[in-house]
């Protein structure tokens, strides 16, 4: 039987179309849509006052952001506007897009931008552990060092920023957003403390860690306790990424770490986490490297050490000020 050429071409066209559709569907399932967007307003851990720790986080479909730390605000917002991450003026982003601040600890490189910009900001909440709120109230927002824009402390209280003290591991709604946050205590130069924030939205999570030392150096179990909590979220793929500091290269003497991580110490902690999740779950898991200290020009060295020691196959992300990230 001879099959007409027209029939053959028709069959091939349908087959080709079916193959293309299968590839599109397969690609769609292989690459799930992002759940969160992150705008780094500042990525360093010192020296450059125009680029200090601050990250805007929101669900991908929303412009209701929470700011995770606030070392730099204005300069970072202007950088994001120039990169066309936002199409509205910087003033609108500060006053309307940022709905509140999650402050990990009261060191200046994590909150100076918020303090300096407070006269121009809109009323909003500051979410932090009681220790951090106490330092803000008693040392920064006082009429001796700065006008008291807080909701407690020296009179008159201007009440622009409302303090929300967090209870460790308890879920707290982030007002004027659809997100919640849980705070976990970190050790930052024992006995001093910092905070990790686990932010949730619609069943998805992002983890941000303020400054932290390794458990081995800090003589602590803070990180191990956090890894135990988040391990199930990594295994079921609902934790979309982690933001964690690496301040110094491996050559930094232990006595000069001051509660910070090196590439070796980070990978040591990731190995501990991998034992809880299974190593396969850690492959391509996004880890954003924050808080590199620019003094000494060790950034390239730190990146090289991280890549060399990345035996777990983590997806290492080096944030750039004002450049959008999605997870």
* Angle of helix 222-235 versus helix 263-277 axis, rounded to 10: 50
Q: What is the pLDDT of residue 6?
A: 55
For residue 267, give the H/E element and its range.
Answer: helix 263-277
Going from N- to C-terminal start, the domains of the chain cover 1-31, 32-326
Q: Beta strands 36-42 and 325-326: pairing type?
A: antiparallel
Q: Which of 185, 318, 181 is nearest to 245 (CA)?
A: 318
pTM: 0.90
CATH of 32-326, one of 3.10.20.30, 3.30.200.20, 3.60.15.10, 1.10.150.20: 3.60.15.10
CB 63 within 8 A of CB 51: no
Q: What is the pLDDT of residue 14?
A: 56
Tens of each residue's pLDDT in the chain, 327 residues: 555 555 444 544 554 444 444 443 344 445 679 999 999 999 999 889 999 999 999 999 999 999 999 999 999 999 999 999 999 999 999 999 999 999 999 999 999 999 999 999 999 999 999 999 999 999 999 999 999 999 999 999 999 999 999 999 999 999 999 999 999 999 999 999 999 999 999 999 999 999 999 999 999 999 999 999 999 999 999 999 999 999 999 999 999 999 999 999 999 999 999 999 999 999 999 999 999 998 888 999 999 999 999 999 999 999 999 999 999
Q: What is the pLDDT of residue 296?
A: 80
Residues 137 and 108: their CA atoms lie apart, in Å, by 14
Peptide bond preceding 5 in cis form (omega within 30 of 0): no
Q: What is the pLDDT of residue 22?
A: 44
Residues 112 and 95: their CA atoms lie apart, in Å, by 17
């Amino acid at each position: 039987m001879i099959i007409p050429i027209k029939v053959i071409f028709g069959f091939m066209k349908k087959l080709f179309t079916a193959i293309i559709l299968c590839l599109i569907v397969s690609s769609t399932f292989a690459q799930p849509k992002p759940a969160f967007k992150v705008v780094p307003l500042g990525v360093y851990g010192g020296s450059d006052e125009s680029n200090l720790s601050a990250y805007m986080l929101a669900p991908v479909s929303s412009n209701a952001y929470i700011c995770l730390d606030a070392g730099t605000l204005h300069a970072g917002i202007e950088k994001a506007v120039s990169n066309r991450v936002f199409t509205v003026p910087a003033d609108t982003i500060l006053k309307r897009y940022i709905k509140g601040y999650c402050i990990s600890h009261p060191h200046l490189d994590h909150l100076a931008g918020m303090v300096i910009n407070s006269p121009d900001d809109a009323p909003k909440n500051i979410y932090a552990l009681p220790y951090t709120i106490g330092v803000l109230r008693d040392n920064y927002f006082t009429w001796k060092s700065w006008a008291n824009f807080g909701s407690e402390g020296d009179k008159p209280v201007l009440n622009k920023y409302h303090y929300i003290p967090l209870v460790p591991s308890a879920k707290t709604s982030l007002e004027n957003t659809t997100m919640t946050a849980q705070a976990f205590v970190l050790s930052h130069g024992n006995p001093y403390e910092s905070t990790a924030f686990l932010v949730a939205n619609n069943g998805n999570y992002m983890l941000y860690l303020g400054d932290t030392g390794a458990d081995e150096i800090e003589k602590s179990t803070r990180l191990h306790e956090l890894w135990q909590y988040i391990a199930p979220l990594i295994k079921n793929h609902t934790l979309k990424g982690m933001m964690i500091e690496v301040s110094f290269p491996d050559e930094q003497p232990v006595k000069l770490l001051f509660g910070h991580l090196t590439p070796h110490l980070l990978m040591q902690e990731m190995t501990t986490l991998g034992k809880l999740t299974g190593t396969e779950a850690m492959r391509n898991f996004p880890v954003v490297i924050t808080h590199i200290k620019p003094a000494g020009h060790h950034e390239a060295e730190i990146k090289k050490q991280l890549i060399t020691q990345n035996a777990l196959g983590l997806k290492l992300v080096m944030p750039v000020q004002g450049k959008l990230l999605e997870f």
